[in-house]
Structure 1
């Protein structure tokens, strides 16, 4: 058994990530999505203009201007598509370029008719993908551009009415899209959290644990830091259930989950991965840190005052470069857990990672 003072591993602090201009949009799961939509939007605009030009028109003097706008829209679509613009670049090019083309159409259209309604296209596209502060910026840009185009058209009567009508109508539509997107994103986030959360203990469930372990191993691969996995199993839990009932068992699980939270660092991933099995993923924790953490949890669990004494056993595995896979490090921790069980329970053991990773020696008895 590991002897000595139980000292907490150093708490790690994470720098607050810079907020992305791109909103947490439901369905926006790949950078190419914005590129495809922006390109198709501009291409659809070019096709729409060319189709409109085929309709009978008493004043065809604006047709040359619209043909130029159609060509520019098609070129913009090609630049976004073949230029492999992704993410924020594709969104901003689609929005700003689209606003410019619509303003050019407002300037050349005779009569102006419903041309200004096409501001809906780039603005709704931006409203779907961008955070609200950026949406405010692109809306302001659109209305400044619209006002400039109208100012260059002294032939248009009731320009103020046209401006106000377009601004109010389109702005309301943009606000509705932003509101609905935020609501849907909130719902999707809630459903996702529910899908990876154990309802009894509030810890991450098996699915969330596997995702987190993959993520931390990938992060360690980039940084070169060690990553540790600790697997816990409550000893004789079935006997507790059979003797005192499932309600007592549930209370024991909840109490152990609280103990884990008190013992862990902020940012460590804590999970319930089975009936009475728990796990902790410790980033930037070496073998000594991880074993100290496991031993501290084992000791605190032994000291709990409960109806029936319930101890816990733990298995520890540490991955270093070249890093093991998720299954390899989990198997190593699981084997260490069962070594602790065979050694008499209520203890922690340090396991052995696969041969292609750094091998840890067995822990102290």
Structure 2
């Protein structure tokens, strides 16, 4: 935004004009008094008159011209001095008016208009004050917005948790009510028990994920860093999903460059990241036949981890929200896939804890979750 200089009101312009007129009148009176006093002094001292005449005869300029009138010279000097004094008085009053505008803007902001900034600029040190005020306003607005976002987030958290608990709990109460009322058929009893147990497991999973998510978001959460061989870890993770992958016709491909790539990380938490991403690929990667687990050494400080599947692409709108807690790509709150909507939010929290970054890319061929991690989080700032 281009800032303009302070625009004076009609009253302020009149005030500035009056200041100039009064200053000129006072200077003229002062000049007249000085000229009269000097003339009286010179007339009463013949030696001074002779000295002045001598100077007039001896001082010459280009072309042999003499200084014939000391009065004119003195008047010119006084005129220059008067202009300097006039400029100083006017510019001082103008700066006072600028200060009044700044104070007025401050009062306006203090009345609760925290999104308002001082939009004009000045050429004095007052500009530093204006810039500091605008920075303070911006930080205040950001703090207010952050506070509102936190409050909204809390409300959404309560709403989502209440919904996700109420749905399976209603089913559990319903089926237990049927059993309590008396069901003679043993097969029906077993079916109701199985459904109630499944819903209870779903509630347990939600409670576990919610506790893990809030724990990871806590500032007190620490990492148990150890030297981790990436290829060995990926083999173990893939083996844990072998049965489910065979059922869905999915093949795992593991590749690390170099083969003995090792980083400093929390093994338990990083395994949870891979579990979440692979689970997400198996549940939502419709039509996928491959899941690639790839790790590349980028440079001496950074490693890139990829989890790719060739299943159905993720819509662009979903890519923007995919790491938000309780977000489900189905676009509804049904839980038939068994997800709590916290898996990817937990994944992002773990990556953040490792001072890394995670993003998701998806097209018609591949959906990629790309993680950039420092080789040693203790000696590295957060990745940009």
For the aligned pair, the TM-score class normalised by the smaller chain equals under 0.3
- Normalized per residue, the structure richer in strand is 2
Structure index of larger Rg? 2
The structure with higher relative contact order (CA 8 Å, sep 6+) is 1
TM-score where L is the length of structure 2? 0.26
Provide the TM-score with structure 1 as the length reference. 0.27
